[in-house]
Structure 1
């Protein structure tokens, strides 16, 4: 299954919309300097301390410090946010008691999710968690600004901003123990403030999940040991971002992303859990991919009725293929063996 989303945006008569924290600190107090900047809650640049809607900002340094197998994992533990997941690559944030189509997910202000999608969504797993500047989480209704799919809240993932004094080449590798995994991200940053390019590659591989000591065998039946079979996965990510500063008040940014997860199983469908039997012999996604292109032009004005003009045009295509193989003879704990898989595999 594939679906594509096109969007054109025009923002005018607004204070300056920027993804980076304010650069002029002359008039800021110490309390201001300790407060992160958000653009999601009000569609204008505001410090979190002054935003009336409960808002959380997860910075890139905080993201690198956290153990995660997908972007959604970075939201775990944040105030008022829970994450529902059916496998290590998928996570659906629950904000104010709702999830799926009632929680809007954005990337650079462009919709990752949409109002007509299914109740639970795993598409944040297709966003590279290493190619981010920050993640903004708005807890509470944002429907006036964003539409009915922002009933419970909003998450907005902002891609990196070029830093002229930053490193030209970066590489990051980390390891996880359960599931056993290795993640590697490399990035090159070239240019200056007038013209710059950022390009990054990410590869992640995870093994099967291993349960704790002496688990209840009925919960993860028909797995014979403590390992949940077929729960590992691989992730490939390609990212590109370029910015051109035409004049001090005019700029254009082009962002392109592609990610792919070849195959991953839904753990809730291949173990018994707390139900009467095992639902499926095979159940999962194969493959999943996301292609994203966003162009953004911005012009700032002084001493006029118009503060900022911003034009955006974006394209996104998500491939969401699923596979399921049922049992001709269902296994059930105890005494029914491993069952017999059907010859029919539904895609």
Structure 2
């Protein structure tokens, strides 16, 4: 009996099956599933997809999950604070970029416009693989994927074929000047019909020390602890069940620029917490129309607390927002014919928002309860049905798909009254690839996307960044139309890709200044569907392997955005950026050098000019050089990194804190 790679909504698992082995998996060992909802060789996907696997994460030891994406082709990471990290893809971020964890939406009803910190609620040490599909995703995965989709797959326990066994590991990581102290432990059980994995991570981050002229940036450090568990059951030769739990909590996470620039004595997130529980049933059937079926039920709980008090102030403001999300998804993979397969399914998500605020007088101890940032009890329903079709003939392959999404948003607000809207969206995509030969491919795609308004758009009341926001009663979905032309190739020693894209954006939900209004010294804004614009850009990557174990690679990305309504640049467009990387691996050791760079960004929207995180005249360009090395003994692995060797003082565009200066980290892991 042969084994095939069976992909459900939440990862790669190996189940015995009666079907033939997927030939694409033999041609290229790297398999992606994000962009097409099925297993495909990376070279044959008609979009650009970037990946970071567990080996990549182990070698470079990124501090956080967002930082694991830094340097991937076309991905730019902004950091509002040390405990944040918001990736930009195709010039968009925040709630215009969809994040999935094991196939389940991380985006919820309170995801903010612009940079946010939510990707950092995924424990970097629990990750098995990350994928970034650029310029596509609304048809495949629904609302918010205007810029693309980031999918995070957590580690999978493995079945045993020769009896039961236990294994595990313990890891410790230290960084100079007390900037990081991390411990991680994992235990795994492998049996013939059951496999389990449990991991625990405890972390302390000291204040971030910047480059040659910045020094220590205080307060910026925080604490974090997380644990995760995953059980897999082989119910039969064709059916498997996965049950998983994830939990992460960050405490006392300072917003550095608020303290330094806006006269706050304390401004921090406490806690930032996420919990996810899910059960996934997968089965491989003999019937062609039900070749693979995956059903997932999930419950996700997100909590964000905030504490703030001004210098010389006497009132501590404590806010708490909680979102409970119930999800139910089903995906069916069908073999219509030898050259025609399809993925079809439904996705149902329901959010309930709880929001509160207490103003505490530190002199008298009195507590005043007020409306939270969002209307308490707001509900957000997200329901969709989709069908994706994968076609092949001669030297061509094609992707065609459509999704119908219906939303039900209801909230009660003192200023708006009872509000209920039911926006909807019907979107489609089409991609065509011409296979010049097995090593060279040309592709083009056209797709439209959307982002439905959420509770954050409609119900925000309070201080956000450097402004005061008030609620709005009626909004429409944001819409995009994306066109792309690209080329991919892979030979024994050389591989690469290049693409040009153009994205048109309509009905953008933007903050509009209420003329003459001011609250507590902050200008007053409200969100409206007022603007349209476009973003175009180019991306290229090249890798050369002249010798066994040696690889030299580089990438570059450029985005240009224009707001046609206000006749100015789009907000927060990243500068030209990229990476050059050289690495050598020899059996038990490895060494690599990395050069990260970004150009100056002085094409600024008015909102950028008003943002106190962006220097007057724009963000200067920068270059950072890092070195990494590792050594593997029998059961001990050592890794080390020397970061920012030249001690460059730099800041990624739009960030509220500078990058790390010259520093050293070491990591040791014991396996048993």
Q: With the length of structure 1 as denominator, give the TM-score of the two structures.
A: 0.81
Given the alignment, which residue of 118, 137, 145 partners 2:112? 118
User: For the Cα contact (< 8 Å) 1:179–1:232, is it kept in 2?
Assistant: no
- 2:12 corresponds in structure 1 to 20
Distance 2:12 2:143 in 1: 27
- 2:241 corresponds in structure 1 to 252
Deviation at 1:312, TM superposition (A): 0.5
Q: Which shows bigger deviation, 86-95 or 206-215?
A: 206-215
Distance 1:195 1:231 in 2: 43
1:243 aligns with 2:232: yes
Deviation at 1:65, TM superposition (A): 1.6
Higher relative contact order (Cα pairs below 8 Å, separated by 6+ residues): 1
| Structure-2 change in CA distance of 1:198 and 1:21 (3 Å) | closer
Q: Which shows bigger deviation, 188-197 or 293-302?
A: 188-197
- 1:343 corresponds in structure 2 to 314
| Structure-2 change in CA distance of 1:248 and 1:22 (3 Å) | closer
- 1:96 corresponds in structure 2 to 90
Deviation at 1:29, TM superposition (A): 8.5
Deviation at 1:50, TM superposition (A): 0.9
- 1:185 corresponds in structure 2 to 184
User: For the Cα contact (< 8 Å) 1:136–1:157, is it kept in 2?
Assistant: yes
- 2:280 corresponds in structure 1 to 296
Distance 1:29 1:263 in 2: 45
Distance 2:212 2:110 in 1: 42
Q: Deviations for 1:267-296, whole angstroms, at most 9, x for unmatched residues?
A: 221223xxxxx3422212011111110100
Q: With the length of structure 2 as denominator, give the TM-score of the two structures.
A: 0.43
Q: Which has the higher strand share?
A: 2
1:153 aligns with 2:140: no
1:130 aligns with 2:125: yes
Deviation at 1:31, TM superposition (A): 5.2
User: For the Cα contact (< 8 Å) 1:101–1:115, is it kept in 2?
Assistant: no
1:316 aligns with 2:300: yes
User: For the Cα contact (< 8 Å) 1:21–1:37, is it kept in 2?
Assistant: no
Q: Give 3-state SS (helix, strand or coil) of 2:68's partner.
A: helix
Please show how residues 184-223 of structure 1 align to structure 2 within 5 Å.
184-215=183-214
Distance 1:252 1:80 in 2: 36
Q: Give 3-state SS (helix, strand or coil) of 1:86's partner.
A: coil
Deviation at 1:27, TM superposition (A): 4.9
| Structure-2 change in CA distance of 1:26 and 1:249 (3 Å) | closer
1:57 aligns with 2:51: yes
Q: Paired residues, what number?
A: 303
Q: Give 3-state SS (helix, strand or coil) of 1:251's partner.
A: strand
Q: Give 3-state SS (helix, strand or coil) of 1:230's partner.
A: coil
| Structure-2 change in CA distance of 1:172 and 1:164 (3 Å) | farther
Q: Give 3-state SS (helix, strand or coil) of 2:133's partner.
A: strand
Distance 1:108 1:323 in 2: 32
Deviation at 1:122, TM superposition (A): 0.8
Q: Deviations for 1:291-336, whole angstroms, at most 9, x for unmatched residues?
A: 1101000111124321111110000001101112123xxxxxxxxx
Q: Deviations for 1:101-160, whole angstroms, at most 9, x for unmatched residues?
A: 110111000011136521132111111111111011111131112223011111111111
C-alpha RMSD over aligned residues: 2.3
Deviation at 1:162, TM superposition (A): 1.7
Name structure 1 gaps, 5 residues minimum.
Answer: 1-14, 216-225, 273-277, 328-340
| Structure-2 change in CA distance of 1:237 and 1:50 (3 Å) | same
Q: Give 3-state SS (helix, strand or coil) of 2:7's partner.
A: coil
Q: Deviations for 1:42-62, whole angstroms, at most 9, x for unmatched residues?
A: 111112111111101110110
Q: Give 3-state SS (helix, strand or coil) of 1:133's partner.
A: strand
